[in-house]
């Protein structure tokens, strides 16, 4: 019985760690998206960093990526940048593996 309980605790710990890693990777991906969008918007330095942070914070509005997509797309539209929703979704997909590697690397 003790082996089963140890195994169960190990699985719970792994699940918790996986969820934490996913959370951190998603936040990192959103920051990378924010830096990409800042570059597209012509922002640099502190302005780009502040914009990237605002993209990360926007993800707290609702579950999923829709809030992040809506923010970046709205900012692009406000500045007359011709990028589509699909461009942003593609960028999110491209950045996720990069973010996971960065989180795993520490």
pLDDT at 106: 84
Mean pLDDT within 62-89: 96
Q: How many residues does the chain have?
A: 106
pLDDT for the residue 8 = 62
Domain ranges within the chain, ordered by starting residue = 2-105
For the chain, how big is the Rg over CA atoms in Å?
17
In tens, the pLDDT along 1-38 reads 666 565 566 566 555 558 889 999 999 999 999 999 99
pTM of the model: 0.83
How does residue 61 score in pLDDT terms, banded at 50, 70 and 90?
Answer: confident
Give the residue-averaged pLDDT of 53-66: 93
**Mean pLDDT value across the chain:** 89
The confidence score (pLDDT) of residue 6 equals 57
Angle at 10 between CA 8 and CA 13, to 5 degrees: 110
Q: What is the pLDDT of residue 69?
A: 97
Tell me if residue 27 falls in helix, strand or coil: helix
> Does the domain formed by 2-105 have CATH 1.10.790.20?
yes
């Amino acid at each position: 019985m003790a082996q089963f309980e140890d195994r169960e605790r190990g699985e719970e710990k792994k699940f918790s760690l996986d969820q934490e890693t996913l959370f951190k990777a998603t936040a990192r991906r959103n920051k990378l998206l924010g830096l990409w969008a800042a570059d597209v918007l012509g922002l640099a330095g502190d302005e780009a960093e502040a914009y990237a942070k605002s993209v990360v914070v926007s993800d707290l509005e609702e579950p999923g990526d829709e809030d992040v997509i809506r923010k970046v797309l709205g900012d692009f539209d406000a500045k007359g940048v011709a990028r589509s929703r699909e461009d942003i979704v593609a960028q999110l997909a491209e950045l996720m593996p990069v973010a996971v590697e960065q989180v795993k690397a520490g």
